[in-house]
Amino acid sequence: MWYTKFGPSGDVVLSSRIRLARNLKEIPFGTKMTQESEAEVIEKCRTALHDLKYIDFSVMTPIEKQALSETHLVSPEMVQNPHKCGLITNDDCTVCVMLNEEDHIRIQAMAPGFDLDSCLDTANIIDDRLDCVLDLAFDPKFGYLTCCPTNAGTGMRASVMVHLPALTESGNMEKIIRSLSKLGLTVRGIYGEGSRALGNIYQISNQVTLGVSESETIEKLNQIISDLIEKERKLSRDIYEQNKLRLEDRIMRSFGTLTNARLLSSDESMNLLSDVRWGVNLGILQNINLESLSNVWYQTMPANITTAFNTQDATERDLKRAELLRDTLRKD
């Protein structure tokens, strides 16, 4: 899957994503939708993107839905969606069009590492294909019309997922979040609004969609994120130089726990994996592959464990999680 691959600036940026919100002109928005109009959205989009795979999201079990959300294929909101809804994806899931989430259509394009430009290219291709055959709600003054006015305009949300152990550990994140906010960006934990930054992973995205172009938004985000990447890299080296032994001790302890524990909760393993990833970047841990770290990170999420091992029992899940982590890290 794309999300386990190592991309540009992959030492800090895990993945990039562009989401475009679109709606059909002749169909009511949001709460005004009927079952018929929900079916109509799905039908029209399936026809327009007939060469891609359609997944009926409504018939999936809650755990299957959760598992897709854990790998960021669908939004957390989509999991709770009571409406008739569906997904259109390509084989490697770098594209996932959510149908009847908050808007009729939400095109998502994703890439490993720091690569918003290629995400935008991919999203634009899908957008153009839909635009050719469907009548999208577009206003010459306001741009694309969306269910929630905060998305109107470009309808674009560009986001990157970054791993910032050094900035977090040194207590810099609160200040950074405030200053990014002043620059019109939102910083959240790994699983959307209000979620904690488990494993020192943050999602950074643009807030403004009205009065700016897609390219302006991305250019600005690229610049700010590049700065942030450099800050993290420099601070990480500084912390290591200042007390090599202390950091090595901490990282090796985390590695020791991950490779020996018999029961690991999701929260604990995310924090330990954060240390191990940091250790790999600093060269403290060798022969460990960042891609397999990303892979096991997703594999050991609660719903992914539950579906893979067909168990709902919390202890059994912690046991399987510990097994998977041990096998992965020892093989490396």
Residues that bind a copy of itself (CB under 8 A): 245-246, 248-249, 252-253, 255-263, 315, 319, 322
**Nearest residue to 16 via CA among 210, 218, 184, 216:** 218
- DSSP-assigned letter for residue 85: -
Q: Which of 164, 182, 4 is nearest to 94 (CA)?
A: 4
Closer to a copy of itself by Cβ: residue 84 or 320: 320
Rank residues 235 and 263 by Cβ distance to a copy of itself and give the closer one.
263
3 state DSSP class of 312: coil
In 3-state terms, what secondary structure has residue 301? coil
CB of 242 to a copy of itself, least distance (A): 14
CB of 275 to a copy of itself, least distance (A): 11
CB nearer to a copy of itself: give 99 or 324: 324
- Give the C-alpha separation, 17 to 6, whole Å: 15
CA distance 162 to 262: 29
CB of 166 to a copy of itself, least distance (A): 19
Nearer to a copy of itself among residue 14 and residue 329 (C-beta): 329
Nearer to a copy of itself, 56 or 327 (CB): 327
Min. distance of Cβ 138 from a copy of itself in angstroms? 57
Kindly report the number of other CB atoms within 10 A of residue 81's CB atom: 17
Compute φ and ψ for 19, nearest 5 degrees. Answer: -125, 130
H-helix segments, the chain: 35-48, 62-70, 76-80, 116-133, 165-169, 173-182, 214-242, 244-258, 266-281, 290-299, 302-309, 314-331
| Minimum distance, C-beta of residue 255 to a copy of itself, in the bound complex (Å) | 6
Work out how close the CB of 263 gets to a copy of itself at its nearest, in angstroms, rounded to a whole number: 4
Length of the chain: 332
If the CB atoms of residues 131 and 332 are measured against a copy of itself, the closer one turns out to be: 332
